[in-house]
Structure 1
């Protein structure tokens, strides 16, 4: 079999779907693809710090095995031989899951998480495990275990989190696909900041294991180069697994809406919170371009409110503050001070406070579900701002002393964790400050395929404004 090598620019421009197609057609070598990925990781890694561990030997060994299988006509699936990365809070058999914490035991996992297991079953080659803040508790890329992860567009800027390294490595072009988890925006925040696609599917559509202390907010998701990659990963990894009981009773995903124009609710200021001028200008331009095509009925709309900040704070502070109390008692000195602080804050909540929060959550969900029923999808900015300082927990002038500082600047993402609705961030262009801006497409429960279909429309029709890898500084090309 004669393979064609790719130069690194071409490799970085191809979707994971397309790379898989070319491997299946006998055009590309899985070994060569792994070497492309590892070369880019090694080139950029000292600067952006996207990896908790780069698995050179294992990746090369797995790629060689996939190449032998391909030569024998034994393709495992549509990602056969395609390099990917996996967030370090998901298990990969034989590797130590650090979870961003110095308290994690140096014990290799004996099995893989369902999402990782299914991607491996489809033939993917994992080149490394990506960074996360401690136990994925916040929206930045800062961890006691791995330090500061940095944005590939500007290493002085934040990656966002908690799928920090996944956003950075996909944004840098090293791999087309990286797994993530999202309990308050942890896929969509780094996707918007790093210029990638980021999908948070309907709650438990993709099983989450190991479980978290906030399992009724936590989603398994993915960061990708293209919308078609996110759609493929969803198809490959969705479905129940007994390790995640929620996944056993999740509503089946429904087919996309077809045969008519989509009804799109355009929300320029979600929950009455205006984005920065930079983000507002990019979002307005994206909406104008979409309207000009006539591809869908785009109507200005207002989301039901109020913003459920107090609901999220009650669930998050008590879940993390009480869920990690034993670790705080023994290891507080080596843990993230912001996380440790939640232990004391959690003590301020009574059972009645949690019941009130659950009641308020129910009312918010009812309002949001009723709103979603009137539309096919909602279109809004993913973030109200672009990436700020890499070592900062809040942007300049932000609420650093808030119980949860990170939710003060992520008001457009965490409400969809409260509701469990599907949402995807799509990069549309660079803002005037030359940092990525994303739009968020959300939809009704189990309408993931319609959400992805309109996200694909956004990607296709806004392609002229999308600034991809070629726009990056020369040192990151």
Structure 2
């Protein structure tokens, strides 16, 4: 039996698809049809995709198949099915940003990630769901509704890249682009059990600017670190249209990926004064720390290095929300998510001096974390201190919390500091809900994060849902 006959193309990674295309054992057309079939099968139950361009995807797949047949493929991603978040402009697709205020128009140009992927020959399947303008850490909006967690569709998938994370968990396409202004890649990655990576700020370009432009970073959500590397080789390069873009991209995003962790020094913390960590998650993280020691690293428990930063982040976030709402007409404001409008209202007491102080304290936090990474290669912590909660809520029910920043204390500090960080799947709670750990590094040490993530996942391959509501079998 040939390899093609044994392989379910709908379950293949991007790396596996490239190998099959190269050998002639599979076609981009067959792989695209398999991805579209999985979208048709799963998306009605989870609402991960807001738009699917079946005709355009198949047209791109046929062109890719012709290139592979002639030996003229553009890149290893030629013919690989990809999704983009509905905050990223994709020519010919809606430009809604999850908002009813955006009208019904289609984008007339590609944002840099879409442009780079299209140039590489990737098949652009469609766009994935986000909260309105990416404003919160769960994924629902007035225009497209709620994205649900495939492990238990009563629960949130996290956000704001919840659609991309769910698409990755169910392999509705092999590669998925997300964006992260306060944890928006890492939070849904943890809640759905996939790998999510936020690079150093400015390394992956974006345009038009994010509504939270000084905090936002673009990155991949995938089933494997190798696939994330393959995607970063395409999208992780300079583009002139991004005012924040830098020219510090690695020459090889996969450099030393498989060289192990011998000699690595890892700081480890599970404590944060702002929210209690779930005991199962803390127990699992303690096991992860021991696993890193088995992989050759030295792990040292430290006090949390980023306490009491929530007011710094709130000042930036709420003022950005107020600026966004100030551009809207009264009719548009009525169409918006009430929670986003409430964020804007919370900005009104701030003065210019408060914003200046927030920027000063942001710099002090960055200095503190950069100093930490002079002594350690990496910082290990939970990605999120709680398991997924009800999909109808923005904060855990009966928690007394007002906003999403209160339950995400480990993620947003690395948006303030502009440093790279990833969420890595590391097991499940007793109820069958995914747990993720976060690994972060100093600025431009992205490859250290990828190397540590690969080392762990190579030894501990993740498990993905084979059907919706897979964890419900644990119910009593």
1:469 to 465, 469, 474: 465
Q: Secondary structure at the match of 1:362?
A: helix
Cα 1:262–1:441 shift into 2, 3 Å: same
How far the C-alpha of 1:224 sits from its partner, in A, is 0.4
Q: Secondary structure at the match of 1:128?
A: strand
2: CA distance, partners of 1:63 / 1:79: 11
The residue aligned with 1:366 is 367
Q: Secondary structure at the match of 1:425?
A: strand
2: CA distance, partners of 1:16 / 1:333: 42
Residue pairs, 1:221-260, within 5 angstroms: 221-247=219-245, 249=246, 251-253=248-250
Residue pairs, 1:72-83, within 5 angstroms: 72-83=70-81
How far the C-alpha of 1:329 sits from its partner, in A, is 3.3
Q: Secondary structure at the match of 2:449?
A: helix
The residue aligned with 2:386 is 385
2: CA distance, partners of 1:327 / 1:443: 38
Which string of whole-angstrom CA distances, capped at 9 and with x for unpartnered residues, describes residues 171-195 of structure 1?
Answer: 1122221101100001111100111
Q: Secondary structure at the match of 1:391?
A: coil
Q: Is the 8 A contact 2:161 2:179 kept in 1?
A: yes
Which string of whole-angstrom CA distances, capped at 9 and with x for unpartnered residues, describes residues 232-258 of structure 1?
Answer: 2222212221211110x4544488687
1: CA distance, partners of 2:342 / 2:270: 34
Residue pairs, 1:190-201, within 5 angstroms: 190-201=188-199
The residue aligned with 1:357 is 358
Cα 1:84–1:252 shift into 2, 3 Å: closer
Q: Secondary structure at the match of 1:84?
A: strand
How far the C-alpha of 1:273 sits from its partner, in A, is 4.8
The residue aligned with 1:263 is 265
Which string of whole-angstrom CA distances, capped at 9 and with x for unpartnered residues, describes residues 308-349 of structure 1?
Answer: 100000000001112331216341211100111223222211
The residue aligned with 2:283 is 281
How far the C-alpha of 1:473 sits from its partner, in A, is 4.9
Cα 1:110–1:375 shift into 2, 3 Å: same
2: CA distance, partners of 1:5 / 1:145: 41
Q: Is the 8 A contact 1:3 1:26 kept in 2?
A: no
Task: Say which is worse superposed, 169-178 or 307-316, in terms of deviation.
Answer: 169-178
The residue aligned with 1:299 is 300
Q: Secondary structure at the match of 2:214?
A: coil
Q: Is the 8 A contact 1:5 1:32 kept in 2?
A: no
Q: Is the 8 A contact 2:432 2:471 kept in 1?
A: no
How far the C-alpha of 1:468 sits from its partner, in A, is 2.5
1:453 and 2:451 aligned:
yes
Which string of whole-angstrom CA distances, capped at 9 and with x for unpartnered residues, describes residues 274-322 of structure 1?
Answer: 420121122122222332x242111212232433100000000001112
Q: Is the 8 A contact 1:140 1:161 kept in 2?
A: yes
1:334 and 2:335 aligned:
yes
Q: Is the 8 A contact 2:98 2:142 kept in 1?
A: yes
1: CA distance, partners of 2:273 / 2:463: 29
Cα 1:328–1:456 shift into 2, 3 Å: farther
Cα 1:328–1:359 shift into 2, 3 Å: farther
Equivalent residues, number: 466
Unaligned 5+ residue runs, structure 2? none
How far the C-alpha of 1:475 sits from its partner, in A, is 11
Q: Is the 8 A contact 1:271 1:305 kept in 2?
A: no
How far the C-alpha of 1:59 sits from its partner, in A, is 1.1
Which string of whole-angstrom CA distances, capped at 9 and with x for unpartnered residues, describes residues 79-111 of structure 1?
Answer: 111111110110111111211000113221111
Tell me the C-alpha RMSD between the 2 structures. 2.1
2:82 to 81, 84, 98: 84
1: CA distance, partners of 2:121 / 2:300: 42
Q: Is the 8 A contact 1:166 1:179 kept in 2?
A: yes
How far the C-alpha of 1:198 sits from its partner, in A, is 0.3
Q: Secondary structure at the match of 1:138?
A: coil
2: CA distance, partners of 1:176 / 1:358: 38
Cα 1:73–1:128 shift into 2, 3 Å: same
Unaligned 5+ residue runs, structure 1? none
Q: Is the 8 A contact 1:192 1:427 kept in 2?
A: yes
2: CA distance, partners of 1:272 / 1:339: 23
Q: Is the 8 A contact 1:307 1:415 kept in 2?
A: no
Q: Is the 8 A contact 2:151 2:470 kept in 1?
A: no
The residue aligned with 2:200 is 202
Cα 1:474–1:140 shift into 2, 3 Å: closer
How far the C-alpha of 1:20 sits from its partner, in A, is 1.6
TM-score scaled by length of structure 2: 0.93
How far the C-alpha of 1:388 sits from its partner, in A, is 0.7
Q: Is the 8 A contact 1:253 1:447 kept in 2?
A: no
Task: Say which is worse superposed, 85-94 or 255-264, in terms of deviation.
Answer: 255-264
